[in-house]
């Protein structure tokens, strides 16, 4: 099946990714409304973001084990059902505690869906187009930042935050229908044998690939978590226009996702190393350009391109080195992205709590990305000494 003929199933996966990405990030724009309605303070409402991230990290291996014996399409539909239930509970949650539990329930599907979805997407196309297929699925996640989050925030501010979760629930139903209708059953893609899948974690290259994801992407959230105060305090951009700049960042992530898929299909590891170099330089540059309104806007857009150009290569790498046991490794790599998000957010907060200025946060993000680059270089060096059985990506 070539890329044009596989476009409908890939688009169905992208619609599901769009729904999942929207519910993950839209809560950030609705914290004041949620806090006021449920009578909690803003920091407590902010924990709904952390609760979701932890739900992804914890739920990924658990759901991978529970769905291991299911045919891959059936597993995707079950996970979308869990997503629908979680967001429906969010929409009707009578209290903060119930909303937190509902967010965690919705998050549980996240890691496994993207992990299994990446494997399915890769098997819908020829080997030479697999990274582009994965990137097309992840395009739904990047578009969530451009369209889903701004629209969901507007809807929640206009009609109440519960309306947003009702809308996301409906989107989940539409995505489940699209997956059921267009994603084919792949009898040649066997359901994973968990004992064999677990053995893949003994492979140094798999562990290094997961570390590359945590560090390579962790530098992004070291800075992005605090992008609003950076733009408002350092770049002198009003709160009203901050949202517009974030939409511009989202457009950059969409372009970067497409670019990363194409580069990974061309030369995976050299491309990934080059992207991480560019990402590091942009974070260093941002420590200086954040003091200029125009400079900050331009840097944020280009930074978005570089940041999400890493996604498809990082996911493709872990699928490649996992060999015949890609399902668990792919799912754990989604958890690794979220671990990088959480760790990066913690590091940026620690830098600020220590009394350092905002530019130092950007430099700290660059240092984390350099660590990811070093892990990438080490992976290539190890592979050259002991090549993988599968065709080399380098």
Question: Which pLDDT does position 285 carry in this prediction?
Answer: 97
In terms of domains, do 183 and 198 share one? no
Question: Which pLDDT does position 16 carry in this prediction?
Answer: 94
At 389, the pLDDT band (50, 70, 90 cuts) reads: very low
Question: Which pLDDT does position 184 carry in this prediction?
Answer: 87
- pLDDT digit string (tens) for 334-346? 888 888 877 887 7
In terms of domains, do 287 and 359 share one? yes
Nearest CA-CA partner of 259 in 392, 143, 131? 131
In terms of domains, do 159 and 300 share one? no
In terms of domains, do 123 and 207 share one? no
Residues in CB range of 330: below 8 A, 6 or more apart? 114, 115, 116, 118, 119, 315, 318, 319, 322
The residue that leads in pLDDT, 72 or 285, is 285
Helix (H, G, I), strand (E, B) or coil at 237: coil
Question: Which pLDDT does position 377 carry in this prediction?
Answer: 94
In terms of domains, do 262 and 390 share one? yes
In terms of domains, do 175 and 267 share one? no
In terms of domains, do 65 and 178 share one? yes
In terms of domains, do 324 and 247 share one? yes
Q: Say how far apart CA 376 and CA 316 lie, in whole Å.
A: 13
- CATH number of the domain within which 116 lies: 1.20.1250.20
Task: Name the residue range of residue 89's domain.
Answer: 1-189
Question: Which pLDDT does position 192 carry in this prediction?
Answer: 58
The residue that leads in pLDDT, 38 or 391, is 38
Contact between 349 and 216 under an 8 Å Cβ cutoff? The reply is no
Question: Which pLDDT does position 151 carry in this prediction?
Answer: 82
pLDDT exceeds cutoff 50 at 392: no
Compute the average pLDDT of residues 191-218: 79
pLDDT exceeds cutoff 50 at 45: yes
Q: Say how far apart CA 13 and CA 179 lie, in whole Å.
A: 7
The residue among 167, 189, 211 that closes a domain is 189
Mean pLDDT over the full length of the chain: 85
Q: Identify each DSSP E strand in the chain by its residue range.
A: none
Q: Say how far apart CA 49 and CA 341 lie, in whole Å.
A: 11
The residue among 148, 171, 189 that closes a domain is 189
At 197, the pLDDT band (50, 70, 90 cuts) reads: low
pLDDT exceeds cutoff 50 at 179: yes
> H or E segment at 74?
helix 72-92
Question: Which pLDDT does position 333 carry in this prediction?
Answer: 85
Compute the average pLDDT of residues 222-232: 81
Q: Which two tokens stand for residue 178?
A: 């699209």
Compute the average pLDDT of residues 213-226: 87
pLDDT exceeds cutoff 60 at 4: no
Q: Say how far apart CA 138 and CA 4 lie, in whole Å.
A: 17
Question: Which pLDDT does position 6 carry in this prediction?
Answer: 65
- pLDDT digit string (tens) for 106-135? 998 888 888 888 888 888 888 778 778 887
Q: Say how far apart CA 199 and CA 314 lie, in whole Å.
A: 20
pLDDT exceeds cutoff 70 at 209: yes
pLDDT exceeds cutoff 50 at 256: yes
Nearest CA-CA partner of 207 in 379, 81, 62? 379
Helices within 144-267 (DSSP H only): 149-159, 161-182, 194-199, 204-224, 227-229, 239-266
In terms of domains, do 244 and 369 share one? yes
Question: Which pLDDT does position 46 carry in this prediction?
Answer: 66
pTM: 0.74
Question: Which pLDDT does position 227 carry in this prediction?
Answer: 80
At 96, the pLDDT band (50, 70, 90 cuts) reads: very high
Q: Say how far apart CA 46 and CA 30 lie, in whole Å.
A: 10
Q: How many domains, in total, are found in the chain?
A: 2
In terms of domains, do 113 and 26 share one? yes
- pLDDT digit string (tens) for 336-385? 888 887 788 778 888 888 888 999 999 999 999 999 999 999 999 988 87
Question: Which pLDDT does position 367 carry in this prediction?
Answer: 97
Compute the average pLDDT of residues 212-239: 86
In terms of domains, do 211 and 178 share one? no
In terms of domains, do 121 and 33 share one? yes
- pLDDT digit string (tens) for 134-177? 878 878 887 887 788 778 877 887 888 999 999 999 999 999 99
The residue among 189, 220, 238 that closes a domain is 189
Task: Compute the 3-state secondary structure of the chain and give helix, strand, coil in percent, each to the nearest 5.
Answer: 85, 0, 15
Compute the average pLDDT of residues 252-257: 87
Share of the chain above pLDDT 70, in %: 90
> Minimum mean pLDDT among 82-86, 210-214, 247-251: which range?
247-251
């Amino acid at each position: 099946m070539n890329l044009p003929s596989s476009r409908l199933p890939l688009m169905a996966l992208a619609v599901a990714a769009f729904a999942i990405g929207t519910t993950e990030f839209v809560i950030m724009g609705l914290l004041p409304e949620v806090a006021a309605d449920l009578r909690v303070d803003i920091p407590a409402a902010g924990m709904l973001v952390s609760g979701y991230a932890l739900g992804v990290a914890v739920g990924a291996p658990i759901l991978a084990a529970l769905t291991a014996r299911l045919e891959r399409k059936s597993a995707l539909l079950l996970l979308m059902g869990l997503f629908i239930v979680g967001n429906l509970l969010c929409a009707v949650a009578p209290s903060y505690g119930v909303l937190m539990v509902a967010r965690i329930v919705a998050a549980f599907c996240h890691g496994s869906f993207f992990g299994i979805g990446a494997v399915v997407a890769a098997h819908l196309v020829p080997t030479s187009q697999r990274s582009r297929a994965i990137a097309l699925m992840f395009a739904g996640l990047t578009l969530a930042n451009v369209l889903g989050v701004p629209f969901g925030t507007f809807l929640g501010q206009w009609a109440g935050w519960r309306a947003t979760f009702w809308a996301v629930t409906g989107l989940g139903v539409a995505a489940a229908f699209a997956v059921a209708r267009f994603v084919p059953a792949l009898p040649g893609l066997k359901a994973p044998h968990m004992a064999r899948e677990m053995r893949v974690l003994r492979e140094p290259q798999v562990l290094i690939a997961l570390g590359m994801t945590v560090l390579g992407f962790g530098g992004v959230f070291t800075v992005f978590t605090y992008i609003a105060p950076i733009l408002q305090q350092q770049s002198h951009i009003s709160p009203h226009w901050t949202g517009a700049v974030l939409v511009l960042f989202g457009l950059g992530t969409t372009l970067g996702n497409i670019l990363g898929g194409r580069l990974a299909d061309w030369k995976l590891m050299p491309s990934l190393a080059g992207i991480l170099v560019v990402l590091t330089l942009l974070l260093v540059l941002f420590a200086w350009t954040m003091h200029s309104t125009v400079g900050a806007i331009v840097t944020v857009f280009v930074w978005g391109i570089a940041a999400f150009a890493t996604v498809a290569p990082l996911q493709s790498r872990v699928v490649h080195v996992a060999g015949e046991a890609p399902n668990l490794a792919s799912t754990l790599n989604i958890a690794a992205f979220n671990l990088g998000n959480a760790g990066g957010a913690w590091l940026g907060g620690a830098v600020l709590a220590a009394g350092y200025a905002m530019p130092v946060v950007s430099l700290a993000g660059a240092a984390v990305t350099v660590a990811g680059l070093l892990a990438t270089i080490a992976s290539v060096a190890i592979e050259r000494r002991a090549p993988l059985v599968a065709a080399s990506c380098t």
